[in-house]
Amino acid sequence: MPHAEAVIVISTWPAEEDPGPAAATLVEERLAACVNILPPMESVYLWKNTVERSQERQLLIKTTRARVDALLARLRQLHPYEVPEALVVPVTGGAEPYLAWLADCVGV
């Protein structure tokens, strides 16, 4: 799989809620090969003209460009936020065996 096909989707999740079931759904539905759930962190952001501070967890979702639209649609369905973070970051390199595994997992 060319490097240009792999992407990482970055999202956040409220720290008081378990993102594990949503992550498992994305993997089970072959929309993602892997989801890393990072430890709680503090986020500072502007929401409805007010600076907010929240405890959140970062999700690193590994997939391919071909699966991004379906993944983002499903993430919106599963996510507790009104406006979930979803940033698509292209992968510019990586180990070919890992990239091949990723493509195989999401059926590309």
Predicted confidence at residue 56, as pLDDT, reads 98
Q: Are 107 and 28 in contact, with CB atoms under 8 Å apart?
A: no
Q: Are 5 and 92 in contact, with CB atoms under 8 Å apart?
A: no
For residue 18, what are the β-bridge partners? none
Q: Are 65 and 5 in contact, with CB atoms under 8 Å apart?
A: yes
CA atoms of 15 and 38, how far apart (whole Å): 10
Tokens 């501070």, residue located: 53
How much is the pTM?
0.94
Q: Give the CATH number of domain 3-105.
A: 3.30.70.120
Tokens 């992968």, residue located: 91
- For the chain, which ranges sit under pLDDT 50? none
